[in-house]
Amino acid sequence: MKTKKSKEDMSMSKKILAMVLLFAMLFSMAGCSIVDTGSGNGSSINSSKATVKEDLLDETKYKSNKAPSEWTIAVVVKDGTSDWFKRMQVGVDEFGKAKTVNVIQKGPANADAASQVQLVEDMVNQGVDALCVIPIDPGALESVLQNAMEKGIVVISHEASDLKNTLYDVEAFTAEDFGNTMMQELAKAMGESGQYAQMVAYTTSTTHMEYSKAEYAYQKENYKNMSLINDTVPSAESAEKVNTAYEKAKELLKANPELRGFTGAASVDILGEAQATEELGLTDKVSIVGVGTPNATRDYINSGTISAVCLWDPAAAGYAMCNLAYMILAGEEIKEGINLGQKGYESVTIQKSSNRCILGNAPLILTKDNINDYDF
């Protein structure tokens, strides 16, 4: 009996070990953490493996029989408390007034993917006519957005070029072009030499990762005397929190004395990087370039701690998303060259990749020379 039990135990141990190794392999392949989507299975779907029903992508099926004054367009952002998305609400509200249509903007208080999924589900259950979504984790939203479209709700996305269950993804420019621009600005500030680090909010953020990968590729091709620490994209995650960005930046600076530059893909990243750089007395040695807003970064730019801020106006993006949703509800044809009513979106192009992407031409680079021309 003792021998038989021992063999059974060994067999069970092997099975457990095999399961552990399998999960470890899946995690390394997926590259993102498990997220409770609120659907009961507690796991996120990788957008690259998500499915979409082709008939749901026919925008002509979403023409509304109601008057525009009866429509509700809901915008669900990553973080309802951030300055970036407060600025987006300015554009969303402006659109609502211009078109006399009901608009709502909601976002989780802590940039939590599961909370965002719940907000989207709430909007679907309330029977909104259109959803404009800026996903924290696109994969986590695939199922609920497919459900929305099955119910006849127009779905538009932003910062989600690999989201499958969306009619169109609206972007101010290509992620590659934007990443290249940020690297050009960082190289200029660093004298095209030295080690740098990258920060994103989450590795599950499609656009943030695309920016970072583009930066790295552009640096390797054009600036041979620069190098990314550990050759790993990205170097750190900020979880969309300034304090986390500060702690991560400080850790990177202490662990890498030769570090001479930072990029930041989330609007909070460069704030934390700047705080850490100033605290350690390294402002003369370390250059910082990344996404941000004028008012949040003004003092750092004027003092020289931050070299450049690369961005697009989130208010214009919010307006453009809502306008596109409005046009689909109105039964208008969506084609190359349509005007979404904002500077940089007057004649958009349509690019087909993982989804259909509406591209504007609306980059904005802020430095000491022009930072005081902007107020948001």
DSSP assigned state of 281:
T
> What is the model's pLDDT at position 101?
98
Structure-model confidence comparison of residues 191 and 38, the more confident one: 191
> What is the model's pLDDT at position 49?
65
**Span 328-343, average pLDDT:** 97
Among all chains, which residue has been given the structure tokens 């208008």? 332
> What is the model's pLDDT at position 374?
87
The class level of CATH for 54-171+314-360 reads: alpha beta
- Both tokens assigned to 311: 């961005």
The listed CATH number (3.40.50.2300, 3.40.47.10, 3.40.718.10, 3.40.50.12780) that belongs to domain 175-311 = 3.40.50.2300
Whether the predicted pLDDT of 261 surpasses 60: yes
> What is the model's pLDDT at position 51?
81
* Residue spans per domain, the chain: 54-171+314-360, 175-311
> What is the model's pLDDT at position 32?
26
Fill in the amino acid letter for 341. G
| pTM confidence score | 0.73
Percent of the chain with pLDDT over 90: 81
Whether the predicted pLDDT of 108 surpasses 90: yes
Angle at 288 between CA 221 and CA 160, to 5 degrees: 70
> What is the model's pLDDT at position 171?
95
Measured in whole angstroms, how far is the alpha carbon of residue 16 from the centre of its chain? Answer: 37
> What is the model's pLDDT at position 110?
86
For the stretch 285-326, pLDDT in tens is: 999 999 999 999 999 999 999 999 999 999 999 999 999 999
| 99 contacts: CB under 8 Å, gap ≥ 6 | 68, 322, 323, 326
**Span 329-343, average pLDDT:** 97
Largest CA distance in the chain: 83
Pairwise CA distance, residues 339 & 306, whole Å:
34
Backbone phi, psi, residue 236, to 5°:
-160, 160
3-class state of residue 231 by DSSP: helix
Report CA dihedral (268, 354, 120, 324) to the nearest 10 degrees.
90
Pairwise CA distance, residues 274 & 286, whole Å:
9
Whether the predicted pLDDT of 118 surpasses 60: yes
User: Nearest-CA neighbor of 142 among 170, 124, 165?
Assistant: 165
For the stretch 43-89, pLDDT in tens is: 344 555 678 899 999 999 999 999 999 999 999 999 999 888 999 99
- Average per-residue pLDDT in the chain? 88
Pairwise CA distance, residues 91 & 89, whole Å:
5
